[in-house]
Amino acid sequence: SQTIHQWPATLVQPVGSPLSLECTVEGTSNPNLYWYRQAAGRGLQLLFYSVGIGQISSEVPQNLSASRPQDRQFILSSKKLLLSDSGFYLCAWSVLRSMNSTDTQYFGPGTRLTVL
Amino acid sequence: AQTVTQSQPEMSVQEAETVTLSCTYDTSESNYYLFWYKQPPSRQMILVIRQEAYKQQNATENRFSVNFQKAAKSFSLKISDSQLGDTAMYFCAFMKPWNSQGGSEKLVFGKGMKLTVNP
């Protein structure tokens, strides 16, 4: 069965410091991968998605970036964190079944980031 | 652009009762997918149920069922025999199908509704 891991689970960082959040998926090949952010009391907002190694699409312009160095690894980074980057970050995966079939997205446990 | 609206920010229900969570959406697409996700206090987002817009039959998953009204763009979730473990935030979400012109499988979420099941 497929599993998705995220770490760290919790992170407290000072403003201006760098960030690296990691997401890995097991039990599937060539997944689509996603980074979402959930601000307090709100729904999720898609930040980045990737359909393959080295292929990253950004949905929201900001000081965050994403990379996919391996098929089942997705990394969210920042060179300098802002206070507004605080939130709950969720990674998700899906597998495209066919050209006309979109599969369900399954989420990881998330990382709670607090920027002070 | 697609939007998803959950107008009820919070509801409470007694254990074993039935509760209905409402969701409306706006889209010009004819083919799409709708989801209900549950986020318990652990904050992991868990899929509850999925509905394909081209299917007329309402989806069901054990105690969970939906009332999908495509013309009205309404997608409500009914929870039967509520259990204490159903206490969570519930999010309605919309997704367009993948397309070769670079469309992503982006989930558009509502703001969520907090459901509390009381003993």
In 3D space, the residue among B112, B116, B107 whose CA is nearest the CA of residue B50 turns out to be B107
| Per-residue model confidence as pLDDT tens digits over B28-54 | 888 889 999 999 998 889 999 999 898
Residue B21 has pLDDT above 70, yes or no: yes
Residue B56, phi-psi category: left (phi > 0), alpha (psi -120 to 50), beta (remainder): alpha
List of chain B residues whose C-beta atoms are within 8 Å of the C-beta of residue A55 = none
Give how far B74 is from chain A: nearest CA, Å: 18
Pick the more confident residue, A2 or B67: B67
Average confidence (pLDDT) over B24-30: 91
Contact A106 B47 (CB under 8 A): yes
B96 Cβ under 8 Å from any chain A Cβ? yes
In this predicted structure, what is the pLDDT of residue A34? 93
Pick the more confident residue, B65 or B29: B65
Give the count of beta carbons closer than 10 Å to the beta carbon of residue A112. Answer: 15
What's the CA gap between B81 and B85, in Å, rounded?
11
In this predicted structure, what is the pLDDT of residue B103? 52
In this predicted structure, what is the pLDDT of residue A99? 55
In this predicted structure, what is the pLDDT of residue A4? 94
In 3D space, the residue among A22, A75, A79 whose CA is nearest the CA of residue A53 turns out to be A75
CB B95 within 8 A of CB B106: yes
Q: Chain A: residue nearest B95 by CA?
A: A102
Residues β-bridged to residue B49: B36
Assign B1 a pLDDT band (cuts: 50, 70, 90).
confident
Give how far A33 is from chain B: nearest CA, Å: 10
List of chain A residues whose C-beta atoms are within 8 Å of the C-beta of residue B46 = 107
Give how far B17 is from chain A: nearest CA, Å: 26
- Count of H helices and E strands in chain A? 0, 11
Contact B33 A102 (CB under 8 A): yes
What is chain A's pLDDT, residue by residue, as a tens digit (116 residues)?
A: 889 999 999 999 999 999 999 999 999 888 889 999 998 777 788 999 898 899 998 887 678 999 999 999 999 999 999 999 999 999 999 876 665 556 789 999 999 999 99
